[in-house]
Structure 1
Amino acid sequence: MGAVPKTALNMVCFSPKKFDIAILKEIIRGGVDKIRESGASLLGGHSVDDEEIKYGLAVTGIVHPDKVILNEGAGAGDALILTKPLGTGILNTGIKGNMVNGHVVERLIEVMAMLNRKASEVMLSVRVNAATDVTGFGLAGHLKEMVKENIGVQVFGNKLPYFEEAVDLAKSGFIPGGLYRNRDFYKEHIVAENQGFSYDIIFDPQTSGGLLMAIEAADVPAFAEKAGDVGLDYWIIGKFTNEPKGKIILS
């Protein structure tokens, strides 16, 4: 973490025999829009004839060696901050089952399409001891990467941000397979008295999730002020603790 993107290469799998080429143009246009928004330049790319559509970017950035932010190094007392709501995995599963209305789909796309650029800039303006983003391993998996066996963390279950629609979808069984796999793999590291929705949501695999960071407690007011200046949403969802090492306490 901490780098500034400079160049990008398109990586796309697409079959013009199966899909209208106009779809590919829209995919590329969306990618170019986000590259420009990030401040990077598109250098080219590579395409593969494939009947399953895939798209991604290979991005190169620069960062001073002394300013690289690792996903470990949090200290006891650091505030745990998250910058996007959880639940994208559950909602995307609901979309596949035609169980999500258009308004919610639009809001979900808006959140997933939002770059973490503002979050990164605000983070770099204060003392941050560790950071990562929340993606396929869910909040629990990426938080475990932050604590390893060196420190503990308390997560405030009632402070977790999530799409409200995810609650009913989860109750109806629209749960992605990745959530079950994450739970099976990471549950031994979780200490939780209540295993309701707040327990399930920490395992939900995220698409384009927010930044998860350990900010020194004394710098939280400065973080809040800077976030307000740029219109960044964020939630303080916990704090790092000395004990129990390697454990995530869901309270």
Structure 2
Amino acid sequence: MTDVTPRLTSLAHGGGCGCKLAPAVLQDILKGMPQAAPFANLMVGTETSDDAAVWRLNDQQALVATTDFFMPVVDDPFDFGRIAATNALSDIYAMGGTPILALALVGMPVATLSTETIGKILQGGADVCAAAGIPVAGGHSIDSVEPIYGLVALGLVHPDQVLTNRGARAGDVLILTKALGVGVLSAAFKQERLDAAGYAALIGSTTKLNTLGAKLAGRAGMHAVTDVTGFGLLGHALEMARGSGLTVELTARPPLLDGVAALLEAGVRTGASGRNWASYGESVDLPADLSQAARDLLTDPQTSGGLLIAVAADQAEALLALAQAEGFDRAAVVGRVVEGPARVRVAA
């Protein structure tokens, strides 16, 4: 055991959802996978890159199952555990589900990190699960070169109220519940360029549970939902466009977390932002005068990001009011769904 505990982020080559495989790489890997046999009770599988699998249990219940884990995005072990757990539970909420239990996934360099540090990571995750009203009921741990933490998360939803990324309709309004810029803030943190206010904005966003999703199930006008994570707003909007067979039109000026605009202008970026654009840029139409900084924001990987919701236009105002009431004070309209090919268009 070393005498001085190193920065958690120094032990990882990437962090948070920014260390996800790039969309193009993932697609290339999965294209060789054999098609799964049909299962009558599998309501949601891998067809449209949705947030979780859904299995019908009976006429009243469907099981929502997902897993998510990554390397540190911050150095504080407790905060890292909170962020990872919040991010993992988000997929349950994005399907309209209510979590029921979690299993911890733990990979730690035990010769480098103390048991106290590792324990704080697990405690952070357990505290988030407690806030969600569920236990961490087990898990699995290994000795790993890089620190890795996350959850297997299970939830329940009524089979008739499952929310997916493929139900958007032409005329829908798109609402994003959290401001963007987590990737920029985390990059600044690694570069030791993030001040206390920026760190507070980072932690505040990434540890806020997307509990709103469970309240959308069965609500009038809710047509499609996904959470915005490692592929950025453009990438996850494109998944919604492809799943729904329609064009998603986004604003070039979505809401930003505090301090993000200045950091972008100072040249702070994540490597994942460029990899994201290289993966799906051919399916996105941008204004000719859109700045590099604006494009990088739209592809910025969001760790534990907000929900992107396609809602009927006549229900948009009520949904924004509900989001505000649930504490999502940065929720905003970021676009619309229109007739057209399965692409994303950024408005001038």
Shared fold per TM-score greater than 0.5: yes
Query: Which one-letter code corresponds to 1:237 in the other structure?
Result: V
Q: Does 1:240 align with 2:337?
A: yes
Query: Aligned runs of 1:107-146 on 2, under 5 Å?
Result: 107-117=201-211, 119-124=212-217, 125-146=219-240
Hey, what's the Cα distance between the residues in 2 that align with 1:225 and 1:176?
33
| SS across alignment from 2:226 | strand
Residue segments in structure 1 that go unaligned for 5+ positions in a row: none
CA contact (8 A) 1:126 1:222 kept: no
* Greater relative CO (CA pairs within 8 A, separation 6+): 1
| SS across alignment from 2:184 | helix
CA contact (8 A) 1:13 1:47 kept: yes
Query: Which one-letter code corresponds to 1:53 in the other structure?
Result: P
Match of 1:200 in 2: 296
Match of 2:270 in 1: 176
Tell me the number of residue pairs that the alignment of Structure 1 and Structure 2 aligns: 248
Which residue of 129, 143, 148 maps to 1:49? 143
Q: More displaced, 88-97 or 16-25? A: 16-25
Q: Does 1:229 align with 2:229?
A: no
Hey, what's the Cα distance between the residues in 1 that align with 2:165 and 2:229?
14
Cα distance, 1:198 vs structure 2: 2.6
Which residue of 299, 307, 321 maps to 1:211? 307
Cα distance, 1:226 vs structure 2: 2.2
Q: Does 1:82 align with 2:176?
A: yes
Residue segments in structure 2 that go unaligned for 5+ positions in a row: 1-94
Deviation by residue 1:108-152 (Cα, 9 ceiling, x = unmatched) = 1111011101x2144333421111001111111110010117111
Match of 1:105 in 2: 199
CA contact (8 A) 1:74 1:130 kept: yes
CA contact (8 A) 2:320 2:332 kept: no
Cα distance, 1:221 vs structure 2: 2.5
| SS across alignment from 2:150 | strand
Q: Does 1:94 align with 2:191?
A: no
| SS across alignment from 1:157 | coil
| SS across alignment from 2:308 | strand
Percent pairwise identity: 34
Query: Which one-letter code corresponds to 2:172 in the other structure?
Result: D
Q: Does 1:249 align with 2:345?
A: yes
Q: More displaced, 41-50 or 4-13? A: 41-50
Deviation by residue 1:74-121 (Cα, 9 ceiling, x = unmatched) = 11110101011111111111111111112211221111011101x214
